[in-house]
Amino acid sequence: MNIINVNHDTGNLPPTVATIGFFDGVHRGHQYLISHVTEEARRSGMTSMVITFDRHPRQVLQSDYQPRLLTTLDNKLRRLSLTDCDAVAVLAFSREMAALSARDFMRYVLVDKLNVRKLIIGYDNRFGHNRSEGFEDYVRYGREMGIEVMRNPAFSIEDVHVSSSMIRSLLQEGEVSMARRCLGYPYMLAGKVVGGYRNGHKLGFPTANIDLGGSGQLVPAPGVYAVRVRPEGVEEPLGGMMNIGVRPTFDGREQTLEVHILDFEGDLYGQSMEVAFVSRIRSERKFDNLMQLAEQLKADREQAEALLLTDSQP
């Protein structure tokens, strides 16, 4: 897949069938849309393209906006590379771009820079200044400048339209299994292993503490989860259990992300790590003493092992 930096790489591009959006998560609804783009491109003898942005538009328009992203830009591009699309164009979103009307965006970006001849947009997608215009406007503008504009139907699971916002809601409720169905893959967090309080080590459950490094990734609801872990340089993912919360038994106040890797010994400090969520085991709770906590951790480990053993996707 060719990744195009629109500020530097455009010019003399072949006629293109494209779609546009932020594509956070590259979930099954996005995959459904992109499959229609690639099919239409093959029928038309054109190149297929996904057009996306380097950051969430609200990060530019609202200085205090804190994103809750399903994927970082790197992970989004990696997910897009798994589709059949020929190219991804990455737009550097700016206040100047935000000020463009839909017509001007279509003329100066889609036509002049990317040579888009057919545009397939998601059922609820809008673009242009304040997103004040809609599908019928895009169709009309497209006729003026030689772009055929089409709308893609929604992708649904159990009569619910799959969207990035819906998946965020599921994760905030701890529903990682349903989020996985909507994404088409397990939800993942990526960060670096940093020093922690070593309370787990004292209880016989050493943990790697993950720092997301201000990436804006959405953290699922507090609780204990069965996970698959991929430390830096490790080919096959390892089984584990993850605790998200404030460590109430130790009177903690700040949220931590702690992973206990099953049957693993070694120093991971400073290394990058990916954590994929398989299933939620329980909510966070405060125990009366450390013995109760240790007993619960043993039960959590047994449940994590059973869940990972029956999970079909590595």
Nearest to 278 by CA among 189, 212, 192: 189
**Do residues 261 and 208 lie in contact, with contact meaning Cβ atoms separated by under 8 Å?**
yes
pLDDT the model gives residue 63: 77
Mark whether 103 and 199 lie in a shared domain.
no
CATH code where residue 246 lies: 2.40.30.30
Residue 151 φ/ψ, nearest 5 degrees: -110, 135
Mark whether 156 and 281 lie in a shared domain.
no
Query: At residue 81, what is the residue type?
Result: S
Mark whether 283 and 153 lie in a shared domain.
no
pLDDT the model gives residue 264: 85
Q: How many domains does the chain have?
A: 2
Share of the chain above pLDDT 70, in %: 95
Mark whether 130 and 232 lie in a shared domain.
no
Mark whether 245 and 116 lie in a shared domain.
no
Q: Supply 193's token pair.
A: 């292993």
Mark whether 138 and 39 lie in a shared domain.
yes
Mark whether 131 and 223 lie in a shared domain.
no
Report the alpha-carbon distance of residue 159 to residue 264 in Å, rounded: 42
Q: Mind listing the pLDDT tens digit for each residue in 154-186?
A: 999 988 899 999 999 999 999 999 999 999 999
Mark whether 139 and 104 lie in a shared domain.
yes
pLDDT the model gives residue 10: 63
Mark whether 134 and 199 lie in a shared domain.
no
Q: Mind listing the pLDDT tens digit for each residue in 227-265?
A: 999 998 888 899 999 999 998 888 788 899 999 999 888
Nearest to 311 by CA among 186, 221, 207, 189: 186
Nearest to 176 by CA among 236, 243, 227, 237: 227
Low-confidence ranges of the chain (pLDDT < 50): none
Residue 312 parent element (H or E):
none
**Do residues 273 and 217 lie in contact, with contact meaning Cβ atoms separated by under 8 Å?**
no
Mark whether 71 and 213 lie in a shared domain.
no
Q: Beta partners for 238?
A: 229
Q: Supply 242's token pair.
A: 């993850």
**Listed residues 116, 145, 160: the one ending a domain:** 160
CATH code where residue 40 lies: 3.40.50.620
Mark whether 43 and 81 lie in a shared domain.
yes
**Which residue range forms the structural domain that includes residue 237?**
186-310
Q: Supply 101's token pair.
A: 């009307």
Mark whether 118 and 214 lie in a shared domain.
no
- 137 within some domain: yes
Residue 241 φ/ψ, nearest 5 degrees: -130, 145
pTM over 0.75: yes
Residue 199 φ/ψ, nearest 5 degrees: -70, -40
- 172 within some domain: no
- 273 within some domain: yes
